[in-house]
Amino acid sequence: MDLVVQSPDELLAAVPHVLGFKPEESIVLVPFRPGLPITRVDLPTNAADREAVWDAVSGPYGRHARPGARLAILCFTEDRRSAELASQHLSNRLETVGITTHIRLWSDGERWREFNTGQSGLQTQATAERIAAATVLTGAAQPAANRASLAASMVGDREPIAQLIPAARAAAAASSPVVEQDWALDRLEQFHSDGNRLSDVDGARMLVALETISTRDALWEDMSRENHTSHMVIWNDLTRRAPDEVRAAPASMLGFASWLHGDGAKAWCALDQVPADRPYSMAAIVASALQNGIHPREWERYQSHMRDLAGELDESFVPQPPSQQPDLPGTRPTTDRPAPGR
């Protein structure tokens, strides 16, 4: 989604639509040219945390910086002093890798101040409504109230499918992996065509089929930048409905599809749905792509190696998101990272 903004008020109003949720106590880095990710981090409030933020974003920004690179640092908080210190620290660090901070903007939801110039103003409802209307025309969903509500959208009623898993396992044992893989691919193709939600019976069968790595990889291989939105819908639905014992695979598939879409916040929220006691190598692959700021367009270059790596990794390995982790949405990557120690 590309939005043209012409004022601080419009820029602040646009950010939730780009991230997919309304940031709170956050810093958001917004580049002015393609090539750099859009990144949200929790607002640091002390020197150690400010340095931790830089440690978290220095790799991707240093790697992708080009001559003339510029960005805006937006701070969403009532704590103006912390915003000023954090944005100045980050601006100084970005300068060392050749990135100029063109704007350092603070907002408490009602007022804004641009630290570089000292200009200030009000955020208006008219601007927020105008930006919202523009995003509706692009077909984009309206942003969640906050990151927590985005995460909550991935949790649904898991009991109906949980009751059907034993029968689905018995049916799969009486069948064969080849037959179940063919069914899963056909059912996925049907979903691409009609978009109809899988029944509980089909959902249970699909989740059990995904436990066979070759079947999961076949469905993963179907995913592309052309059909990733359809994959996001089916895996989001199955992540919501999957009990713990079969949720690692759909959550990882959702995480990958979200990353491919450029939605880093949703990708991290999806990885959070991988049960802690059920480590999963595919989740580690997605986490690595997010942590290293790999742009979705680079997937074709890496996909064979990444899939081979996922197959070789011990399935007991699980990614532990770092204390700082970025988010990537829209046509350029967006990254989302919690505060240090979380």
Instruction: Name the residue with higher pLDDT: 68 or 94.
Output: 94
pTM of the model as a whole:
0.73
Q: Domain residue spans in the chain?
A: 8-143, 152-337
Per-residue pLDDT tens digits for 43-56: 999 999 999 999 98
Per-residue pLDDT tens digits for 14-49: 998 888 889 999 999 998 877 788 889 999 999 999
DSSP-based three-state secondary structure for 266:
helix
In CATH, the number for domain 8-143 is 3.40.140
pLDDT at 216: 94
Closest by Cα among 117, 75, 69, 57 to 95: 69
Sheet strands (E) in 185-328? none
Tell me the pLDDT of the chain averaged across its residues. 85
The residue with tokens 């970025």 is: 326
CA distances from 218 to 148, 163, 203, 255 (A): 32, 27, 17, 17
CA distances from 178 to 24, 135, 147, 175, 185 (A): 48, 43, 40, 9, 11
The residue with tokens 């931790």 is: 52
At 272, phi and psi to the nearest 5?
Answer: -65, -20
DSSP-based three-state secondary structure for 261:
helix
